[in-house]
Structure 1
Amino acid sequence: MESPQAENPAIEATTEPQDGAAEEQQTESEAEAPEFSSVAVPEIVVQWNQDLAPTLRDGIVVHGSLDRSELLEKLPSLWPTVDAALARVGPGTLVTESLRHDVYEGWQVVALPRYDLEGSIEPRDRRDGAPQPRDRRALVQALVDAVGERPCLDLRDALNMLDVFAGIFPPGLDAVCRRLLGHDLRLGLAASMAPVHEALERRAAGRVSVTCYLESAVGSRKAKGDPATDNEDAAGSLRDPSGTVRCAVFDGVTGDADGSGAKASRAALEQARRGWEVNADPSPRELVAELDAAVSRATKGSAAAVLATVRPDGTASVVSVGDAEAWLVRPLRTSQRYSEPRVPAQGRDLPYVAWKLTPAHTGYADHLRVNPDAEGEESSLVAFLGGGPGRWTHNTVALAPGDLLLLASDGATQQERERWFGAVLAELVAQFDASGRPPAPALAAALVQRAEALGGWDNATALVCAIGEAKDV
């Protein structure tokens, strides 16, 4: 097995020098050491009893031991190794470089125990085997570090990257990392993470049904009293004879109070409907080009867009341009019937999980690709319909009965301070389900109401597709 150079001095593998070299090294060390210092700091040499595999990032980027797209499906086999490491040396012993992967040997976890002054491993309070905050941060940073275009700086950088590059990173990585940070892990990682991995891997066993619910409203602080132009969002859906459902949300970009944003979003929706009515199924590239051309013909304005095509076999094609977003909300427990209300558990153990499906095409996102200290207006678009989109993303998503697929303008997905929007979605759906309210229409209405409660700074549009089991005709 290859033994790469360690990136962190704390986990550097070293070998013992020969006897003569050891005596010479000891003599030099004694000569340089002061006779007395008010602060005494020992020099510690760490020796590993085996070769170290490459760090997870090096394994993916340099050695190709694991493909980025395969990371999530390999994680269930990592967690038992992490559990074993923490059980052996205690919690609080992981760093970002602790996660390692070899193409032949698989996962390796390098744990750094604390030693007492006699060189023995210091007993640690294992707290039922639950990782400490340090361990949780290290795991999240290691996972994001492995899939990012650049190394991850710290936890704040990791969370920013998860949000901005969703849809580029492996889908569902944000849900995994948020569970690592926020869930009660006393049962160990293998048991605690299993429900999320099961949810991420779930697929429809047969044909699915799709029902769409739409809510849209003008933000009170953006309203100018003109119903024709105040709401610059446009959205709609259509079901074709085959059962395929196509839906879209367009968010017009505010111009010089000339209504160009509203014209842009409506022109895009009209073009989309024309394509839907003739049952056209263009490639994502052709679709974006047609929408962009329609907007350019209609106005000098522009619009962000997110579109989804949901087919009866449960596959969904999602295309996005700009900062309009798509999210998937999925129940964690498959043993319960979808028609029965679920009562949320206490604390953060919610019966739903959510993850983001689309990235952000903004100036801030472009800066964040190369600079962890990126700053800038997150709503400044670098890709949009009208004048050439330049950039767009396309993802294929596997849906299952019980899912809620959300398409929304950025006004409806406004972030709350220190609160992840995926957690907001999971909590809202759990509350509706527990109270007996249909989650899909309730979620669409709640997101619009929430946008107004947060200040009403922007128009808010939410289109929610409820996925169920298709009934035999």
Structure 2
Amino acid sequence: MSGVEEAGGDTAAGEETAPGAEAAESPVFSAVAVPEITVRWNQELAPALRDAVTEHGSLEPAGLLDALPELWRTVDAALERVGPGCLVTESVRHDAYEGWQVAALPRYDLDGGIRPQDRRDVVVQGPPARDRRALVQALVDAVAERPCLDLRDALRMLDVFAGIFPHGLDAVCHRLLAHDLRLGAAAGLAPLHEALRRRAPGRISATCYQESAVGSRKAKGDPATDNEDAAGAARGASGAVRCAVFDGVTGSGDGSGALASRAALDQAGRRWRMDEDLPPQQLVDELDAAIGRATAEGSAAAVLATVRPDGTASLVSAGDAEAWLVRPLRGPASTARELPFAAWKLTPAHTGYAEQLRITPDAEGEESALVNYLGNGPGRWTHSTLALAPGDLLLLASDGATEPERDRWFGAVLAELAAQIDASGRPPAPALAAALVQRAEALGGWDNATALVCAIGEAKDA
């Protein structure tokens, strides 16, 4: 599979060597000596995962998560056969007919031979950090608009483009990086994949709870305008539950953001009472127009959900208001540290930073500077659908309630809060809404914080 190509050698008999030629062909001395190793594959390689998705169409982005369990089994086999540290981003490959392929690169000695590996504990320990990073980069690279630069770039795109990427990809990547994965990647990721595939076996019920707070550092002593968030929910005649969170935006501090968010909620409420399932474009246009009638200055970020009795839900978002899904994991925990819940983000960000990151990994700037919102034309907005199951917690929140912590993914925060609430025996949905608002104040109280949590259960017989 590999070898070293040696440069130079003896001169053939009868050939003359020009004066100085030997010196000219000698390698220049360097303080760092690096061998040249040639890799020859003993079989045809399938296209790299990004090429398989974007060019060959052998795997659709929407079907990526369903196909991953087979990849993890192939990864475990590669690590057991070749040893740890054998993966790079280009190692993950896919063929339309043959399926997954892992091009494993063994470590080499200075003589070009394959370095012996101690593989006795590879499967028990799971993929080492280097291999995990390569897998995450490969997965993000496959669905991103541009090539993924490195792990930092991959994690930023997972956060900013959630909802555009397949739902749950962020949870898979973070579990891959942080979990012990004992007994291998396939076994370690199996509980999450079961949760991602879970669907309601019958009709569902939905009940919404909400909490909101001004934020101590945001308060200016005017109760009418200090809190510029607005949220609400209603149940229609068909049984569908509609809910929304609007986060008012004002640059002058004149309360126009509060006017905008309340005007949008009022318009949404009128539509909810009519129990019409409007096309998303018409809904967004009506909300935008309502804000325009209420204020010439204010605008609002928005996230809306419609939860139907058949177990499906649709989401519409504009700006930096967010939707998340918290779902319990089934089966016995493989380690004492494993949380019984998982969470993943359902909506992307519509900010100047997101627009830059879409085209370059060197994106910089204020991540809260909105480029798309309701008021003066909605610009870009997103619409997506998802399947729910009993036990789910669907979270809609303003950005103040999803304030990030340093070096900690918010999905891990949600999973930990859900686990603590579950262990305490408190009602999960109202307790989670309250915990998120309390957490926002504990982190400094810099912004209005609103959390609306929709608890999904089994529909009771009429």
Match of 1:89 in 2: 82
CA contact (8 A) 2:85 2:107 kept: no
Cα shift at 1:106: 1.3
C-alpha separation between the residues in 2 aligned to 1:40 and 1:15?
A: 14
Deviation of 1:185 (Å): 1.5
Letter in 2 for 1:290: E
The aligned length equals: 446
Instruction: Tell me, yes or no, if structure 1 residue 251 matches structure 2 residue 247.
Output: yes
Deviation at 1:38, TM superposition (A): 5.4
| Structure 1 residue 405: Cα displacement | 0.1
**Partner letter of residue 317 of structure 1?**
S
Match of 1:141 among 137, 140, 143: 137
Paired residues of 1:344 and 1:430 also in contact (CA < 8 A): no
Q: Offset of 1:255 from its aligned partner?
A: 2.8
1:240 equivalent among 236, 243, 257:
236
* 35 and 389 in structure 1: CA distance in 2 versus 1, 3 angstrom threshold: closer
User: Does residue 79 of the first structure (1) align with residue 67 of the second (2)?
Assistant: no
Q: Does 1:376 align with 2:372?
A: no
Percentage of identical aligned residues: 76
Tell me by how many angstroms 1:117 deviates: 4.0
Q: What are the superposed Cα offsets for residues 223-247 of structure 1, whole Å, 9 maximum, x if unpaired?
A: 0000000000000000122221010
The 3-state SS of whatever aligns with 2:291 is: helix
Alignment correspondent of 1:181: 177
Helix, strand or coil at the partner of 2:39: coil
1:324 is aligned to 2:324: no
Cα offset for 1:30?
A: 9.9
| CA deviations over 1:56-89 (Å, ceiling 9, x no partner) | 0111112221111111111111111110100011
Q: RMSD over aligned Cα, in angstroms?
A: 2.2
Structure 2 residue identity aligned to 1:105: E
Local SS of the residue matching 1:412: helix
1:112-141 C-alpha deviation (Å, 9 max, x unpaired): 101234544222244342211100100000
* 1:446-465 pair list within 5 angstroms: 446-465=435-454
Identify which range, 156-165 or 50-59, moves more after superposition: 50-59
For residue 53 of structure 2, the aligned residue among 38, 48, 60 is: 60
Q: Which amino acid aligns with 1:150?
A: R
Provide the residue aligned with 2:43 in structure 1: 50
Find 1:260's aligned residue among 251, 256, 259. Answer: 256
Give the stretch that moved more between structures: 100-109 or 131-140: 100-109
Residue deviations 1:363-383 (CA, integer Å, cap 9, x gap): 000000011010011111111
**SS of alignment partner, residue 173 of structure 2:** helix
Aligned-pair CA distance for 1:254: 2.3
Give, in angstroms, the shift of residue 36 of structure 1. 6.5
Shift of 1:158: 0.3
* Structure-1 residue corresponding to 2:299: 302
Measure how far apart 1:103 and its partner are. 1.5
1:151 maps to 2:163: no
Paired residues of 1:219 and 1:452 also in contact (CA < 8 A): yes
Partner in structure 1 of residue 9 of structure 2: none
Mapping 1:49-448, distance limit 5 Å:
49-126=42-119, 127-129=121-123, 130-300=126-296, 301-333=298-330, 346-347=336-337, 349-448=338-437
- Residues of 2 paired with 1:396 and 1:15: CA distance? 53
TM-score, length-scaled by structure 1? 0.90
Amino acid at match of 2:49: L
Counterparts of 1:93 and 1:242, CA distance in 2: 55
Residues in 1 aligned to 2:334 and 2:76: alpha-carbon distance in whole angstroms: 27
Question: Gapped runs of 5+ residues in structure 2?
Answer: 7-11
Q: Give me the TM-score of the superposition, normalised by structure 2.
A: 0.92
CA distance in 2, matches of 1:156, 1:448: 29
1:345–1:351 CA contact under 8 A, matched in 2: no
Q: Tell me, what secondary structure is at the counterpart of 1:462?
A: strand
The one-character-per-residue Cα deviations of 1:161-183 (angstroms, maximum 9, x if unpaired) are 00000000011100000011000
Superposition deviation, residue 37 in structure 1: 5.9
1:45 partner SS: strand
Taking a change above 3 Å as real, the CA distance of residues 419 and 472 of structure 1, as seen in their structure-2 partners, is: same
